[in-house]
Amino acid sequence: MTADELSFWGWGYSEKFPDEAERRELASRMEGMLGFPERPMLSPPALSDVSIPESSLSVPAHLDDVVSTATEDRIRHTYGKGYRDIVRGFHGDFDSAPDAVAEPDCEDDIEDVLAWASEERIAVVPYGGGTSVVGGIECDPDGDGDGFAGVVSLDVRELDAVLEVDDHSRSARIQAGTLGPEINEQLAEYDLQLRHYPQSYEFSTLGGWIATRAGGHFATVYTHIDEFVENVRMVTPSGPMETRRLPASGAGPDPNRLVCGSEGTLGVITEAWMQVQPRPSYRARATVHFDEFEAAVDATRAIVQARLYPANCRLLDRNEAMLNEVAMDGSHVLVLGFESVDHPVDPDLERALDLSRDHGGSVSGDPSFEGPHRDSEADAGGDDRDDEEGDWRSAFFEAPYTFNALVSLGVIVDTFETAVTWDQFPRLHEEITTQVMDTMNEECGTGFLSCRFTHVYPDGPAPYYTLLAPADVGNELEQWREIKATASDVIEEYGGTITHHHAVGRVHRDWYEEETPGEFREALRAAKESMDPEGIMNPGALLPAEQHQS
Amino acid sequence: MTADELSFWGWGYSEKFPDEAERRELASRMEGMLGFPERPMLSPPALSDVSIPESSLSVPAHLDDVVSTATEDRIRHTYGKGYRDIVRGFHGDFDSAPDAVAEPDCEDDIEDVLAWASEERIAVVPYGGGTSVVGGIECDPDGDGDGFAGVVSLDVRELDAVLEVDDHSRSARIQAGTLGPEINEQLAEYDLQLRHYPQSYEFSTLGGWIATRAGGHFATVYTHIDEFVENVRMVTPSGPMETRRLPASGAGPDPNRLVCGSEGTLGVITEAWMQVQPRPSYRARATVHFDEFEAAVDATRAIVQARLYPANCRLLDRNEAMLNEVAMDGSHVLVLGFESVDHPVDPDLERALDLSRDHGGSVSGDPSFEGPHRDSEADAGGDDRDDEEGDWRSAFFEAPYTFNALVSLGVIVDTFETAVTWDQFPRLHEEITTQVMDTMNEECGTGFLSCRFTHVYPDGPAPYYTLLAPADVGNELEQWREIKATASDVIEEYGGTITHHHAVGRVHRDWYEEETPGEFREALRAAKESMDPEGIMNPGALLPAEQHQS
């Protein structure tokens, strides 16, 4: 992957942007299936047409090799990949481009950049894969400078190596800028994997996952990247810090847990020892259809409370099933998958299917069982499957590309997610459905909302919503803001968290403030001040930017 | 349980202190089995013989109902239950008694006490069950006052109710002062349990478990109390704070994880929503004997890396097996237990036994399987079992009583524990064995050391050591300090953590400082300062006491 193969304004590879015929087909689907009014067909911008403000920074000579002020570098580090980002990118608006981009290939360079930035009071925005959907890597979006001399995007992707593997303890020391596929490629020679697959997998980095507490492959138990962190190394403006590599500890509040979720506000994560795993040898999978959503929810709850530990336990409501073409008959679909490196998981799946049937589910087709001593699919590893789960999984990684196309068709498209206890879920879900639909109707005349569970816990699910609405092009960010605010308000009012795994960034900050106790945020601010006395690290993400005191 | 039934100087109920004949038998065992020189038989102190310094505090009128300066209250809140504590208590040394004891029965009272203490700069030591083994509840042991006007022990045991149960989400809102058995008694009417059984279970509290990140029932996955915390409420000197009740979140660093392990230094934990569980219906258990410790370790590693999730996976080395009379033939014993509320766990045990056999283990007797549809033991629930595991479990809860008796026989007895990655375990274990034995030989002429794994992770075990040595009565704390320092130094030098679940307190603080990055401790100190501006909360635990600025 080279930078110029990537879209400068949207998700992923440029060449994957669909041609007009494909987009026309997508528009017809929106019009036919969802009843949207006729959609326009807008052309994506050309890089050469984009102009950005001049950089406010002059790079000192000793950082010449590390820091660039080249226009294209700055454009490419302006935004994450949320709807708001793609819309602005698509319209060629890169006004909030950083003033410079640092691409250090070692910690010394990072220390030098932070020293310069502390000295000159330059905001530093750590940048991994650039896939934030919450404004996590975009500093000073309002252009008012927040009292900073400028903004440097600090891109860590040159730190892209697996440095050590301890096969005995099943762990590996991995640099923070390593992309998902690069991690697994480098671990492959040891027959190991990280087994963490967020939807951004292809383009996001280990450091980004840790900084944002990414949600991964496993629907239960090992849901967040946090669970795999043995230690972490971070360069703060006060110096580098490294936690002790341990399988577990009870010595005071867990230092790793302060770094997980710090969203670049404390320092730049440079590497971590992570738990890794062999590729699973055994799998068992099935899909279950339900007529009623409530029954499907109850079945899911029964499975997770039985502590069967499915790797995959994704409940798609009928809209989600339809949108992803997993079921077109109006049924809700529960996709179940078990895996093990060591032993058959058939009994676990069988039991989960029993529990599903107890709640009125009907199993679709035959369950699939794989293992090293079985004839079928012995070596396929299950990555190229043509069953419903396989369809859904490939749709999972391709979905962000659809965002690009939908923006070009004047469609508002976004996802939001939360976690809530089971007792509060029905009310929250009902209010989200009603109020978000109402807002879309008001703002856009119509809209579409679907729900799936990405992760589940014995005490509650992590529901994930996708919304689509026809935009009034040119006005779409105002419309989106209303819809997003409604969703976020409802989540806070009815007991959810503003984010289960998308992070807080700048977009969720107001609701984060409602959700967390002031005493905790104050303590976090104090902790930040001790690591980052000048307040240069990702100001405005997670916590409000501090006004400069001098 | 009433206070006067409890020993004021040692573990548990006074009446359980063994009579002279029993203690003579224990002494013979030490002399015969371990080759210790003839042991003295010392008499425990009488409460009436104990004198303590006068209280330096006068309680303001508005706190008369909450705060006591009565001598017996103060004596009973002086120490935890570590060896160092029991020795001092046994010798009638209660010089570091707190100046007063607060027993609030509501948060308002706690706020009042903290306001008084902040105003007068009085150190406040939150007290749950008083079972700390690391000096966690003993302020100012050196008697120099650390610049405080006095010390109040703040006992939360009046907050002892299960306030709400949400059976649907399998969670309960529980007050912090509720003792282990009280929690399960109150949950029993909902057919639920917390299923967290630290060795201190009978006398320790939920708040204490959360404050110290207690290790519990489950050997895998749900090892620490942290995993069960949905939210927590804590009264800090800056005011009460409550985190949002959630099954999970990705919004910034987890606020619950700052409270877990805070050891009373940030505030007084008052209640928490906790995940709870029905009593398991299915169990499968077996014990496996090994000739070689290395092989037993490899088998244990194979089982946990196979992600079989045993509830119990305790490897006892031959000394531990002998000491607990689980195996007298010199074999190392792996005690395996699986449990489920929902489905048979026989295949999991069978697979674990296969893996054990692959590593040279021999299964002792027939494995035991229980379930609701089986004839045998159907309703016993497995709590009164006469198999090896049952023996070991009842020994587990009785063991602390033996501490009392051993102290009266002039025997140094202590336990220490750690966690370490598998690659580093053999070297760490060898160095601990050699160096701790060397120090016991030097200090005491001889000694005995045994090891078990209490919890295991895919990337490493949590080894737990028990040591015994003949004391030079009167000089035993100096001897103990040398031995403890050796053990702690080796742990830090060879990659372990100073504590997997005993906490840091004051005893482990020097090694905690070596283990954690200075930047993190500085951040923690800053966070503390924002919640506890006067530095009154448990000064000297976890972090050094701050010298008063005024």
Give the Cα separation of A334 and A297 in Å (integer). 9
Strand partners, A413: A468
Could you report the per-residue pLDDT of B493-550, keeping only the tens digit for each?
Answer: 999 999 999 999 999 999 999 999 999 999 999 999 999 999 999 999 999 987 654 4
Do residue A525 and residue B523 have CB atoms under 8 angstroms apart?
no
HEC states along A252-295? Answer: CCCHHHHHCCCCCCCCEEEEEEEECEECCCEEEEEEEEECCHHH
Say if B206 falls within a structural domain. Answer: no
Contact A262 B253 (CB under 8 A): yes
Please name the helix (run of DSSP H) or strand (run of DSSP E) that holds residue B298, with its range, or none.
Answer: helix B293-305
The CATH number of whichever domain residue A226 belongs to comes to: 3.30.465.10
B215/A309 CB distance under 8 A: no
Share of chain B above pLDDT 70, in %: 94
Same domain, B143 and B286: no
For residue B214, tell me if it sits in a domain.
no
Contact B140, B234 (CB under 8 A): no
Number of other residues whose CB lies within 10 A of the CB of residue A473: 16
Specify the CATH number for the domain of residue A369.
3.30.70.3450
A419–B504 C-beta distance less than 8 A: no
Provide the number of structural domains found in chain B.
2
Distance from CA of B17 to the nearest CA of A (A): 31
Q: Is residue B437 part of a domain?
A: no
Whether residue A545 is contained in a domain is answered as: no
Q: What is the structure's pLDDT at A376?
A: 43
Taking an 8 Å cut-off on Cβ atoms, the answer to whether B248 and A305 are in contact is: no
- Residue-level pLDDT at B395: 72
**A522: chain B residues, CB-CB within 8 Å:** 238, 530-531
Picking from B224, B230, B262, the nearest residue to A250 by CB comes out as B224
Mean pLDDT over all residues of chain B? 93
Rounded to an integer, the average pLDDT of B44-49 is 95
Query: Is A430 in a helix, a strand, or coil?
Result: helix
B361 in a structural domain:
yes
Closest residue in chain A to residue B211, using alpha carbons only: A252
Task: Classify residue A18 by burial, with Cβ atoms within 10 Å: 0-12, 13-18, 19+.
Answer: middle
Which residues in chain A have their CB less than 8 angstroms from residue B542's CB? 252
CB-nearest to A254 from B257, B305, B526 is B257
- Segment B205-223 shows an average pLDDT of 95
Residue A363 shares a structural domain with residue A232? no
Count the helices and strands in chain A (H runs, E runs).
15, 18
Domain termination site, one of B334, B363, B380: B380
Contacts of A249 in chain B (CB under 8 A): 419, 497, 499-500
Give A217's pLDDT tier (boundaries 50, 70, 90): confident
Q: Mutate which of A230, A236, A421 to disrupt the B interface (most B C-beta within 10 Å)?
A: A421
Residue ending a domain, choose from A124, A139, A155: A155
Q: Under an 8 A CB cutoff, do B530 and A525 touch?
A: yes
Mean pLDDT computed over B406-423: 98
Q: Which residue of A has its CA nearest to B255?
A: A520
Q: Kindly state whether residues A53 and A144 are assigned to the same domain.
A: yes
Range of the domain at A334: 282-380
For chain A, what is the mean pLDDT?
93
User: Which residues in chain B are closer than 8 Å to A215, comparing Cβ atoms?
Assistant: 250
Are residues A306 and B525, on separate chains, in Cβ contact within 8 Å?
A: no
Helix (H, G, I), strand (E, B) or coil at B320: helix
Residues A129, A177, single domain; the answer is no
Domain boundary (A94, A122, A155) is at: A155
- Under the banding of pLDDT at 50, 70 and 90, the label for residue A385 is very low
**Contact of A399 with A199, CB cutoff 8 Å:** yes
Inter-chain residue contact B275 with A247, CB threshold 8 Å: no
* B267 to chain A, closest Cα gap in Å: 11
**Best mutation site among B217, B244, B455 for testing chain A: the one with the most A CBs within 10 Å?**
B244
CB B221, CB A221: distance < 8 Å: yes
Residue contact A307–B342, C-beta within 8 A: yes
Note the Cα A272 to chain centre separation in Å: 19
For residue B208, pLDDT beyond 80: yes
Asked if the Cβ–Cβ distance from A499 to B169 is below 8 Å, we say no
Q: What string of DSSP letters covers B439-471?
A: HHHHHHS--EEEEEEEEEETTEEEEEEEEEEE-
Q: Are residues A186 and A247 in the same domain?
A: yes
**Contact residues, chain A, for B506 at CB < 8 Å:** none
Q: Quick check: is B48 in a domain?
A: yes
Mode of pairing for the β-strands spanning A151-155 and A123-127? parallel
User: Would you state the pLDDT for residue A393?
Assistant: 65
CB–CB contact A261 B241 (8 Å): no
Angle at CA of residue A171, ends B315 and A236, nearest 5° = 120
Q: What is the mean pLDDT of residues B303-323?
A: 96
On the question of pLDDT at B233 being above 90, the answer is yes
Q: Are residues B11 and B151 in the same domain?
A: yes
Q: Which of A170, A308, A497 lies nearest to residue B249, judging by beta carbons?
A: A497
Give the closest of B250, B257, B266 to A215, CB-based.
Answer: B250
User: pLDDT, tens digit, for every residue of A118-139?
Assistant: 999 999 999 999 999 999 999 8
Percent of chain A with pLDDT over 90: 89
Token output for B146? 């650390």
Of A115, A106, A102, the closest CA to residue A67 belongs to A102
Neighbouring-strand partners of residue B30:
none
> Which pLDDT does position B378 carry in this prediction?
36
Does the distance separating the beta carbons of A224 and B248 come in below 8 Å?
Answer: yes
Give mean pLDDT, residues B194-199.
94
pLDDT score, position B377? 39
Per mean pLDDT, which range of A177-181, A308-312, A369-373 is the poorest? A369-373
Write out chain A residues lying below 8 Å of B515, CB-based: 244, 251
Contact: B258, A522; criterion CB under 8 Å: no
Instruction: Determine whether the interchain pair A530/B519 forms a contact, defined as Cβ–Cβ distance below 8 Å.
Output: yes
Residues of B whose CB is below 8 A from A259: 253
Banded pLDDT at B379 (limits 50, 70, 90): very low
A187, A270: one domain: yes
Residues A9, A149 within the same domain: yes
Residues in chain A: 550
Q: How far is A213 from chain B (nearest CA, A)?
A: 6
List the single range of A69-83, A383-397, B449-463 with lowest mean pLDDT: A383-397
pLDDT of res. A399: 84
Q: Judge: A421–B230 Cβ closer than 8 Å, yes or no.
A: yes
CA angle A535, A539, A540 (to 5 degrees): 140
Judge whether B512 lies within some domain: no
In the sheet with B67-68, reading across from the earlier edge strand, the strands are B67-68, B100-102, B151-155, B123-127
Report d(CA A119, CA A121) in Å as an integer. 6
- Contact check, Cβ <8 Å, A460/B420: no
Q: How far is residue A496's CA from residue A462's CA, in Å, rounded to a whole number?
A: 9
B-interface mutation test, from A259, A520, A538, A543, most B Cβ less than 10 A away? A520
Report the largest interatomic distance among the alpha carbons of chain A, rounded to a whole angstrom.
72
Predicted confidence (pLDDT) at residue B238 exceeds the cutoff of 50: yes
Amino acid identity at B145 = G
What is the value of pTM for the model shown? 0.96
Quote the pLDDT of residue B388: 53
Q: What is the spatial distance between Cα B303 and Cα B349, in angstroms, rounded to a whole number?
A: 10
Residue A44 resides in a domain = yes
| pLDDT tens track for A499-508 | 999 999 999 9
Distance from the Cα of B464 to chain A's closest Cα (Å) equals: 13
pLDDT-based confidence at residue A479 (cuts at 50, 70, 90): very high
In contact, A405 and A18? CB cutoff 8 Å: yes
Identify whether residues A169 and A219 lie together within a single domain.
yes
- Separation of alpha carbons A224 and A228, rounded Å: 8
Decide if A347 and B351 are in contact by the 8 Å CB cutoff: no
- The H or E element spanning position B362 is strand B362-370
pLDDT of res. B550: 43
Task: Report the chain B residue with the minimal C-alpha distance to residue A530.
Answer: B523
CA atoms of B388 and B371, how far apart (whole Å): 19
List the single residue in B243, B458, B518 with the smallest CB-CB distance to A517: B243
From A134, which residue of chain B is nearest by alpha-carbon distance?
Answer: B251
**CB-CB under 8 Å, A169 with B340:** no
Pair B232, B209: CB distance under 8 Å: no
Task: Say yes or no: A136 and A167 in one domain.
Answer: no
Q: Which residue has the tokens 């009272």?
A: B109
Average pLDDT over residues B49-66: 96
Contact A458 B247 (CB under 8 A): yes
Please tell me the predicted confidence (pLDDT) of residue A421. 98
Q: ipTM of this predicted complex?
A: 0.95
Per residue in B453-491, pLDDT (tens digit) is 999 999 999 999 999 999 999 999 999 999 999 999 999
Strand order of the β-sheet with A411-417 is: A362-370, A282-290, A332-340, A312-316, A448-457, A460-470, A411-417
Question: Using CB atoms, which residue from B213, B251, B512 is nearest to A516?
Answer: B251
Nearest CA in chain A to B344: A347
Closest approach of A316 to chain B, Cα-based (Å)? 20
Among the partner-chain residues A459, A497, A529, the one whose CB lies closest to the CB of B171 is A459
Contact A248, B218 (CB under 8 A): no
Taking the CA of residue A145 and the nearest CA in chain B, the distance in Å comes to: 24
Q: Which of A244, A251, A342 sits opposite B499 (nearest CB)?
A: A251
A519 contacts B236? CB cut-off 8 A: yes
> Within this chain, do residues A95 and A9 fall inside the same structural domain, yes or no?
yes
Q: Least CB-CB distance to B504: which of A252, A422, A523? A: A252
Which of A132, A133, A168 has the highest number of chain B CBs within 10 A, making it the mutation to test binding with B?
A168
Q: What are the residues whose beta carbons fall under 8 Å from the beta carbon of A252, sequence distance 6 or more? A: B261, B262, B263, B504, B512, B516, B524, B542
pLDDT digits over A334-346, tens only?
999 999 999 999 9
Residues 6+ apart with CB under 8 A from A49: A92
**A contacts of B342 (beta carbons < 8 Å):** 305-308, 351
Question: Is the confidence at residue B232, as pLDDT, over 50?
Answer: yes
- For A270-300, the pLDDT digits (tens) are 999 999 999 999 999 999 999 999 999 999 9
As a whole number, mean pLDDT of residues A402-407 equals: 95
Contact A445, A38 (CB under 8 A): no
Contacts of A212 (CB under 8 A, 6+ apart): A132, A136, A261, A263, A501, A502, A503, B250
Residue B249 near residue A244, CB atoms below 8 Å:
no
User: Is A308 in contact with B525 (Cβ distance < 8 A)?
Assistant: no
Tally A–B CB contacts below 8 A.
293
**CATH code, domain with A139:** 3.30.43.10
